[in-house]
Amino acid sequence: MFGFISPFLIVGISVLILRSFMRDMKPWERRLLAFGFVFQLFGIIAIIGVTKYYYGGGDMLNYHEHGNRIANLWSTNLTAFGPMVWELLIQTGGAELAPYGSGTATGSMHAMGAILGLATGGSLFSSCAIVGFGGFFSRLIIYRLMRSELESRYWRPIMIATMLMPSVVYWSSGLLKESVALAVLGPLMWGARKLTRKHNRLAGLFPLALGLVVCGLFKAYLLPPFVLAAAAWFYVARSRRNGVVTTTIKPGRLILAGAAAIALLLVIGTIMPRYDFRTIQSQVAKEQHQGSYVSGGSDFRLQGSAPSSTAGFLLTAPWAVVTALFRPAVIEARNPLSLLNSLETLVLLIMLFQAVSRNGILKCVQRIRSSGLLTFCSVFTLVLAMGVGFSTTNMGTLSRYRMPLVPFFVVVLVVLRDRESKTLASRTSSLGSPASGL
């Protein structure tokens, strides 16, 4: 019975949360957010329908089915199975509950499926709704952060970029690792920003810790790009003088930002060897080798074999970025979903050409350097795109894996294609300033 009631309860609670976010927003923002909320609801319905009735199965259904099986066991004895579910979630055990995937992100997803299954009465829609609306509000936090950094003339396009991109809405709507990670990316950004400000820094500790842990458990590949992007944002913010970024390199601040980034990357690599930047070349070779054993209609290879040298890796990196950002092309589409993805990447490619043709490459780079926010978005996009391009060998998963970077990439394109050079509102500045935010 509760499985039938839970969808209405979750949607109702989400509406109340949305209303609280809307209180200080303009009427047009409220209308777009209301549309975005409905769009997210349709995205949840769409991903369930496509996975069940078009593909006939998939990761989402596996997580849900295994999770419900564990939830049924758990409901018979909460105290006995609770610690096992916890160990499965944090990847320290739980093989009794999930022999396949324990100790990995897959095991964590089985545990998440169990937690959501127990809480929603086994409803697939409710489980997806919790994750999907979690991603919706996470993106809303990201929008508000960007809103506080950019001029009001950019607010409408950045809301579209963060809240209404079709691929983001669709892939954030299911019980998937990427969806869970996206649901904490907003709090992660907000926590990092809060820690670098002069006032109330402790308020950022919990969302930052939550974001780091959840991303580490479900999609750790987001952490290295985030760390590098945050360090770049910190450096640009600290290089500002009277609201303008100085062209002179500040060695002390550069060393501080670089040291912090390297320290965090070393910690990530120690905890999760797969994402150790010191062995990135061998990891890429391993991913490409594993992908060579998978065959399908939408498989692809960056080149004949994985880069065998540092020079080969560096030479292949630009193609990996292009692949992650702009494929599949329209001529590569093999089914309706692939066609929709290709139309989105075509729009992004057109926006990039408009930005370069209107302002030139050098001016685009200068405008990125003038804003801590644009620097963060650019570094996050490029580093994550390179990782996704190298590690992915299937067009279907490519669209899913790049989903977290799409809003940031679109925001950069929106600003760069504007011919005017001023990108920051006069009342705001970059990370670490007293600009208003959440």
What is the DSSP annotation of 45-59? HHHHHIIIIISS--H
Separation CA 218–CA 208 (nearest Å): 16
The per-residue pLDDT for 309 is: 58
Max CA separation in the chain (angstroms): 66
How many C-beta atoms lie closer than 10 Å to residue 347's C-beta?
Answer: 13
The per-residue pLDDT string of the chain (438 residues; one tens digit each, 9 = 90 and over) reads 556 678 889 999 999 999 999 998 999 999 999 999 999 999 999 999 999 999 899 999 999 999 999 999 999 999 999 999 999 999 999 999 988 888 899 999 999 999 999 999 999 999 999 999 999 999 999 999 999 989 999 999 999 999 999 999 999 999 999 999 999 999 999 998 887 776 777 888 889 889 989 998 999 889 888 988 988 887 787 776 545 555 455 555 556 556 655 665 555 556 555 555 555 555 555 555 444 445 555 666 665 545 555 666 667 788 889 999 998 888 888 888 888 899 999 999 999 999 999 989 999 998 898 888 999 999 999 999 988 888 877 777 888 999 999 999 999 999 999 876 454 443 444 444 434 445
- Whether residue 431 contacts residue 189, with contact meaning beta carbons closer than 8 Å, is answered with no
Separation CA 242–CA 221 (nearest Å): 36
| 65, two tokens | 């089915």
Burial zone of 253 (CB within 10 Å; 0-12 exposed, 13-18 middle, 19+ buried): middle
Separation CA 112–CA 98 (nearest Å): 12
- Whether residue 118 contacts residue 74, with contact meaning beta carbons closer than 8 Å, is answered with yes
Residue with tokens 């308020």: 203
The per-residue pLDDT for 431 is: 44
Q: What is the pTM of this model?
A: 0.85
Separation CA 237–CA 253 (nearest Å): 10
* Sign of the four-CA dihedral 275, 278, 284, 290: negative
How many C-beta atoms lie closer than 10 Å to residue 375's C-beta?
Answer: 24
Residue (of 390, 369, 270) closest to 320 by Cα position: 390
Which residues are paired to 241 by β-bridges? 244
Residue (of 170, 146, 145) closest to 157 by Cα position: 146
Separation CA 402–CA 392 (nearest Å): 10
- Sequence letter at residue 194: K
The per-residue pLDDT for 428 is: 41
| DSSP letter, residue 306 | -
Separation CA 169–CA 179 (nearest Å): 10
* Sign of the four-CA dihedral 385, 387, 389, 392: negative
Residue (of 185, 187, 190) closest to 222 by Cα position: 185
Residue (of 370, 89, 165) closest to 81 by Cα position: 89
- Whether residue 175 contacts residue 116, with contact meaning beta carbons closer than 8 Å, is answered with yes
Strand, coil or helix: what is 418?
coil
Q: Which helix (H) or strand (E) holds 427?
A: none
How many C-beta atoms lie closer than 10 Å to residue 23's C-beta?
Answer: 7
